[in-house]
Structure 1
Amino acid sequence: MPGDRYAYARPAGLYTKGWTDRSRWRRAGPSWQPGAGPMSGAEEAAAYMQGLLEKLAEFSEPGEGVTRLLYSPEWMQAQQFLLEQISDSGLKGYADDVGNVYGELTGRRSSEPIVLTGSHIDTVVSGGRYDGAYGVAAALAALRHLRRTYGPPQRTITAVSFAEEEGSRFPLTFWGSGHVTGLYDISEAADCRDAGGVSLQEAMAGCELGPRQPKPSCSGLAAYVELHIEQGIVLEREGTQLGIVSAICGQRRFAAVVRGAANHAGTTPMGLRSDALAAAAEMTLRLEALATATGDPLVATVGRLEVRPNTPNVIPGEVRFTLDIRHSHEPELEAFCAQALDVFAEIAERRGAALRVEPRLAAVPALMDARLQNELAAICAGQGFTWRSMVSGAGHDAQLFAPLCPAAMLFVPSRGGISHAPEEDTPPEALTAGLNVLIALLYKLGYEE
């Protein structure tokens, strides 16, 4: 890149210092206003990205927030819109067999491994407008800017809008990136059904995106880069502008059932009860205490409880609950799970209850590439941004690519740490900061290497 490698990405007046300080949070946006003269290339890229985000938010089921479920009409409209934007931006656009959408900035050295960047466009029910969509909009804006400013790269850079990551409609996650990385093949689609009984295969049959082309080969990937909102409160609380992800936590999920004895609430003495809810409550509190004593980055959550018979004058005879445990290192994750389950068993035995625990998910931690982390750190410093290294407690498409190619993630702050909710928010200047760092990294990976 001519001159100062990163100077182009930070025109004067574009950012408001201290925008992560909660007391000064404001939607200042880029300094350019209509009638103020032509925008710089970086300002135009930021405005284009903001426009994509606003338009994508319109593709939603009625109701609060954004609801865009896999293979729904809203999802189809959003992916088709992105294909149109890709074509208008001078990129090569196509979709693969499961509906992942790609925008390719073709490189001069076509035989070399490609750089892939993006995220997903599906949402949770009544979610926000930035989770996933930000990484997609930023990827397209970055490639559009690079093409207009520097022409064809040496190495092909491809933006991707993954079909699905959340698992909101069908009982599986990472359907889009899992198709690319080999986690899934099409055979899973026949038996996987949504709450209405529609199979994934049936829903996918209605996916009429085009043109079609085979998915990229993971053996042909030079790197995968994902820009995302933090979905947590660390960056905002610290007043740090950007987060460079060092690892994505491994995750264990369990389904637990505690069985006691349902009986009359008025006639059963306290010392003669086998109260399933009391046992589950003690397990929940002990889990919290154990996790707090272990410390970061471990987190443990009881997220859902079902009490039976759930009647005011009956001692609960059965409680079903979910258990979610996460840590960035596999040995510590395994050790904590074993400790917690031993404690649960002791509580159940002492209270005269039966306990059954079934594993439901085992995702290994994913380490991000050290070299790419260093590159991101250098770019942040060059652009004058404060940053910190951090572990992602949430799962992301990047964790599927990490074992297969160098992978990197960059976080921007989430206001109040809120995500998966209509209130999900990140100020424009924070979104722009992440975009500019992404542009600089993609330039290095695609034009310089």
Structure 2
Amino acid sequence: MINVTPIEIDQMMDWISSISEEDSPGTTRLLYKPSWVHAQHALRAKFEELGMKVEFDAVGNLFATLEGTVEPEKIIATGSHVDTVVRGGRLDGQLGIMAGYLAVKKLLEVYGRPQKSLRVISMAEEEGSRFPYAFWGSKNIFGIAKREDVENISDSDGVLFVEAMHKAGFEFLDGEPKFSKMDAFIELHIEQGNFLEKEGIKVGVVNAIVGQKRFNITLKGEANHAGTTLMSYRKDTVEAMSRMIVKAIDKAKEEGDPLVLTFGHVSVKPNTVNVVPGETVFTMDCRHTDQEKLNRFVSSVEADMKEIAKAMDIEIEIDMWMDEPPVPMDENIIGNIQKVCEDHQLNYQVMHSGAGHDSQIIASYVPTAMIFVPSIKGISHNPAEHTEAIDIVQGIQALAESLKSLAY
């Protein structure tokens, strides 16, 4: 079995994490910023040291390819995104790139060149942290990013997307994408949840990425004096919201895994201690791996909310502003990773992903699967994000052996 050491993992992660926009806790590397440019070109040099052919596409995705000796046109790929959130952790995204680097390095050292080509992709952007657009990297690989969606957007400093892209040395895709053809793609990523850590499992084999529906829900009642308005005469939107949330969460618990339901943001007007709240806006985020069950659950919750609002004489408006379908992973690639884990006695569990990843874009075009490694306390998008290198070893071994079985 391919052997990678915790020291090698830590060295790689310390190196890539040090390329950051600001000298503060965590790593900040936003799309087309100087630190992003530095990281992509530093990665280029790393991959070239292995004898890989390294190319950029128009928008700045990096592709490092170890050409196959028998069927070089067949491409087995891995990788993830190089951008981070502001003051993010040392693993999210970039671990998938460095895991790919280590896997290819070890395979080359032990087995020589593959029969099919191996490719590591450092995707330009996934997070949407600088500009209000996510998956710019993976969407451009397949030519599905729309120029008009980004031509007039800017970051928090007022820098236009197009201006930043040009300054970094890149341009919009013109014509057909050059790197869209792949025969398999495997993305290694931290779980960003605490299931693997809690269960003492080292490798998660991801079989699906959840679908997501997100809502803004507006309730309008009547603001009135907190001391003089009797309870029976109130049109209290916070009370209405509370009833709706309790009923919805009870239903979610009854439904059980893998459904999750979150009410994460609340805005109350007039938001004053001595006034009955006349308007409340709150969010709802619901996720499931099964589209039909997700649709059915959300419809049931919406019906409950409308019923409660009617009974309390409260106006309700439900706006669904995100509707992303679940994305199943490829059964053959999943089976391949499972067999590798069993053959090499790796400690694994088949599971789903509750967060979005580049793989959900890629899976529509290429047979795709994911490998998770544990996250301490499930913390991510935070300088405290951490996984002990010893707990990443088996994940990289699963990746390397899976690439070997597909490419050699």
Please give the residue correspondences for 1:45-56 in structure 2 after superposition, counting only pairs within 5 Å.
47-56=7-16
Q: Describe the SS at the equivalent of 1:114.
A: strand
The answer for the alignment partner of 1:261 in structure 2 is: 222
From 284, 300, 317, the counterpart of 1:323: 284
Paired residue type of 1:412 = V
The CA deviation string for residues 139-175 of structure 1, in whole angstroms up to 9 with x for no partner, is 1121222233333222111101111112222222211
Structure-2 change in CA distance of 1:125 and 1:285 (3 Å):
farther
How well do the aligned residues superpose, as a CA RMSD in angstroms? 2.1
CA shift for structure 1 position 395: 0.8
The answer for the alignment partner of 2:366 in structure 1 is: 405
TM-score, normalization by structure 2: 0.93
From 109, 112, 115, the counterpart of 2:76: 115
Q: Describe the SS at the equivalent of 1:221.
A: coil
8 A Cα contact 1:115 1:224, kept in partner: yes
CA shift for structure 1 position 313: 2.1
CA distance in 2, matches of 1:95, 1:443: 25
CA shift for structure 1 position 225: 0.5
- Size of the aligned set, in residue pairs, is 405
CA distance in 2, matches of 1:345, 1:64: 45
Structure-2 change in CA distance of 1:411 and 1:206 (3 Å):
same
The question of 1:376 aligning with 2:340 is answered no
The answer for the alignment partner of 1:308 in structure 2 is: 269
The answer for the alignment partner of 1:13 in structure 2 is: none
From 19, 38, 47, the counterpart of 1:59: 19
Please give the residue correspondences for 1:70-89 in structure 2 after superposition, counting only pairs within 5 Å.
70-89=31-50
The CA deviation string for residues 276-307 of structure 1, in whole angstroms up to 9 with x for no partner, is 22222222222211111111101111111122
8 A Cα contact 1:105 1:147, kept in partner: no
Percentage identity across aligned positions? Answer: 39
8 A Cα contact 2:216 2:283, kept in partner: yes
The question of 1:168 aligning with 2:121 is answered no
CA shift for structure 1 position 109: 4.2
CA shift for structure 1 position 405: 1.8
The answer for the alignment partner of 2:110 in structure 1 is: 149
The answer for the alignment partner of 2:313 in structure 1 is: 352
Paired residue type of 1:103 = A
The CA deviation string for residues 372-416 of structure 1, in whole angstroms up to 9 with x for no partner, is 112111211222222111011111111112222211111111111
TM-score, normalization by structure 1: 0.85
> Where does structure 2 lack aligned partners over 5 or more consecutive residues?
none
8 A Cα contact 1:80 1:209, kept in partner: no
Q: Describe the SS at the equivalent of 1:258.
A: strand
From 352, 356, 380, the counterpart of 1:391: 352
Bigger mean CA deviation after superposition, 114-123 or 104-113: 104-113
The question of 1:128 aligning with 2:106 is answered no
The question of 1:138 aligning with 2:99 is answered yes
Paired residue type of 2:298 = C
CA shift for structure 1 position 371: 1.5
> Where does structure 1 lack aligned partners over 5 or more consecutive residues?
1-6, 11-41
Q: Describe the SS at the equivalent of 2:403.
A: helix
CA distance in 2, matches of 1:97, 1:275: 54
The answer for the alignment partner of 2:154 in structure 1 is: 193
Paired residue type of 1:287 = A
From 378, 381, 391, the counterpart of 1:430: 391
Paired residue type of 2:247 = R
CA shift for structure 1 position 269: 1.9
Structure-2 change in CA distance of 1:263 and 1:251 (3 Å):
same
The answer for the alignment partner of 1:446 in structure 2 is: 407
